[in-house]
Structure 1
């Protein structure tokens, strides 16, 4: 529970104690019964109050009859702006188009393999660093440091900091395209018996096959259907490629080093060597923090379990990666931190074989990799008044923001059999932290029209922004429904 209960203390001083008469004793007993009855009634009233808050007098009554305002801009413009050209895709486009402009120039002008290799490595360097936990946290920290006095149009742009994955994928795809040109140029040089060696070219072909495979498996549609294959390919093909890049870089430097210059001297004076060194350290760093930690499992129902950890404290917006098999699979979960409480917890709901195992056979220990990393709900403090929307176990990322209560919040949580599924403790703690919370039981009231219900609460709470954690289709629907009507809305993306 978020609230703390204080026990009353009393001190008694006995001076000239006079025995009570039978009548006085009976009066004292009656008085005690009245006090006990009042206390019990107070507890009952409190529980009744918590339960009634869930219904909020059915604030959603008649919401289906509400008229939604017209969407802004024309249909083509808003679809291009909010769906086809999301900020993630715009960042991807900027990185890729800029690279292709330089690519065409280099291809027409003609340049040697060494120069093309440097450009290729530079792109892979950017791609890898955009997925480094310290870099991600730095982006969020800087973006979310903007004061509330700044104009909303600036803060709503900063709120999309989680779209930096577009830089990651844009640089990764660009690096692969540059590698194709590098291999073509290296092949030409080998055929002409110029500087590039056969060994360098052979390794480059292997790297190209690995990177093309990674790009194919990372395509959103394929990644969603074959997520395990995507993870395995990205991890093992990526590690193999990095190892081969080291060999490629050293061989290429040796191919182009000036006569009389030692290989060691040529290596330390090469920009590609330092880029590869830094990107390699970036990949290794999270694995240096790999640990097996103790976990206390609290089974909430046959649909959810809450895992408690005490090895580190987290902040609202953080998520961590968990695994029982560190080399083969990892699962990300939002951390639930309660102010004044050591450690954090995470809600795992049934969504597949791995999550089913955690519920039916709760773990006592689990592997954790890297440091807690920020996600989308970190942007909440950028806005003056925020409507938080969660469906089902999406309450996990939302809960710590509610507990922290840094800005005025309104919570909307929809889920089937809320108390039965997630337990009284979580439900009551959220209501105490956010008394105006609206908890909508879909088993009792049916599935709501989330766009209309969200808009009603935005209007009633006068929210400046909406943050939603749900499944992909509903998240995209609500975010588009709000953004197309001029209301800043933020939700997880599945493209990075």
Structure 2
């Protein structure tokens, strides 16, 4: 593995003393420790005191050493009866941190973000359509229920497709960068970041329309073929299971369960969709027989929705490859993976030890598209990342088509700030390496020891000292006031936008502070 070998000789003191910053825990600032009480309890200490209190000492002159405050003192030391004196340990007083009060309106705005607005709009729009269809006032739905089902599901697939999302970012960056005012750029970035709201809303709405369609078929089961009804019910079950498995409490608590059901049951649902579309469009309910001509099938809207759904599902998997990887382990909490070829900034990649199971996404660090390598920082948080450290792989599976994170939109802006904590540097560093107009703020604990020479070397090589703040909470005795740090950097650097990569607590604090201060910021997004 040449010079990029695994580092196994780790300082023993670092094994158990890694700060919570690496874990993404937003710890508090350093606590000041009060000095112990100045109580003399031995004859030896009394002798030392008597020697110190000479006639020419500052105490004898009525002055406490190192201060100008007068203090009453005796000209001769007296014997102290110390038998009854007890040493009392004073409790450590924590510094009082006064946080700025955030208005309820700001908290509501951050909660009801564009993701939730998209989700609410899409679901309500489809709900109105279902109600109108049930009342007989939606003529299109009477003849094209299947198209409404598959149209929603196709839209849901597109919002999570690497190629389509990269295309949207391309349009926004090259279409808005040179002429658009800041307000439009911010709106476009917000839309791109929250496309997941459209994905969730369309998936749920598609399932709702599918239920409505099956109910409609069952109502007229006397003239419908049993095979059509059966295929519709099976399709419905698969789609509903796939949608329910993606609910936040399932996805966050049982990630592997979510992945298996959402992916594999979703694929089965897609296969059954083909069966249902073909059967429902080739059976003539008026004549009560199957049609053999292909014209009616090819002219059906449902067929072409199914075609595009299949194409966009397959595109990312066509680029799946098993690639060589070199692993550096600078500390027990982090694995640095190195891959061949360079990348654009703001991209993320999914990797797995198997071809179709347990994919995990990480930010990509690269010096540019013409670079020879790119890197991923994998912080130990679960079984998958733990095994990267304990049993470093020589190859991993990955899709060569990478997907764009919100950091990819940084190319639209003239100047900006990229702030991150701990392993968030993996998603942030490329932007500041590849663009001299971005300022890096990295908050962590003992970064050089924790993340190793490769990452710190890239920072020192490509980012000037005046364009970065590396806050080592271990050396500086705690974390900074990140909001104040952002305010100061915003003014001095002349930034027009801030991108944040942090854990939930740190992200919320910075987003609230930036919104209250009128700073344009985009934080880490957790799907809801």
Q: Please state which band the TM-score falls in when normalised by the shorter chain.
A: 0.7 to 0.9
Residue 187 of structure 2 corresponds to: 157
C-alpha distance in 2 between matches for 1:362 and 1:487: 42
Q: Does 1:185 align with 2:185?
A: no
Distance 1:257 1:480, change over 3 A: farther
C-alpha distance in 2 between matches for 1:235 and 1:183: 23
Distance 1:151 1:342, change over 3 A: same
C-alpha distance in 1 between matches for 2:402 and 2:317: 13
Residue 487 of structure 1 corresponds to: 519
Q: Does 1:125 align with 2:154?
A: yes
Residue 222 of structure 1 corresponds to: 250
C-alpha distance in 1 between matches for 2:97 and 2:108: 27
Deviation track 1:209-232 (CA, whole Å, cap 9, x = no partner) reads 222222222122331111111111
Query: Out of 164, 167, 172, which is 1:135 matched to?
Result: 164
**How many residues align structurally?**
426
Contact 1:68 1:452 in 2 (8 A): no
Map 1:2-41 onto structure 2 (within 5 A).
none
Distance 1:427 1:470, change over 3 A: same
Map 1:304-319 onto structure 2 (within 5 A).
304-310=334-340, 312-319=341-348
Show structure 2 runs of 5+ residues with no match: 1-28, 31-94
Residue 439 of structure 1 corresponds to: 470
Contact 2:343 2:367 in 1 (8 A): no
Residue 456 of structure 2 corresponds to: 427
Contact 1:391 1:414 in 2 (8 A): yes
Residue 416 of structure 2 corresponds to: 386
Q: Which has the higher helix share?
A: 1
C-alpha distance in 2 between matches for 1:488 and 1:69: 18
Deviation track 1:150-179 (CA, whole Å, cap 9, x = no partner) reads 222111111221211111111101001111
Show structure 1 runs of 5+ residues with no match: 1-59
Q: What TM-score, normalized to structure 1?
A: 0.80
SS in 2 for 1:368: strand
Deviation track 1:258-316 (CA, whole Å, cap 9, x = no partner) reads 86963422211111111101101111122222111111222222222221111x43100
Contact 1:220 1:494 in 2 (8 A): no
Query: Out of 256, 275, 279, which is 1:251 matched to?
Result: 279
Map 1:82-481 onto structure 2 (within 5 A).
82-83=110-111, 85-109=112-136, 115-145=144-174, 146-147=176-177, 149-160=179-190, 161-190=192-221, 193-194=222-223, 196-256=224-284, 262-310=292-340, 312-339=341-368, 340-406=370-436, 408-434=437-463, 435-436=465-466, 437-444=468-475, 445-481=477-513
Q: What TM-score, normalized to structure 2?
A: 0.75
Contact 1:70 1:485 in 2 (8 A): no
Q: Which is higher, the Rg of structure 1 or of structure 2? A: 2
Contact 2:284 2:291 in 1 (8 A): no
- The alignment yields a C-alpha RMSD, in angstroms, of 2.5
Shift of 1:456: 3.2
Shift of 1:385: 2.0
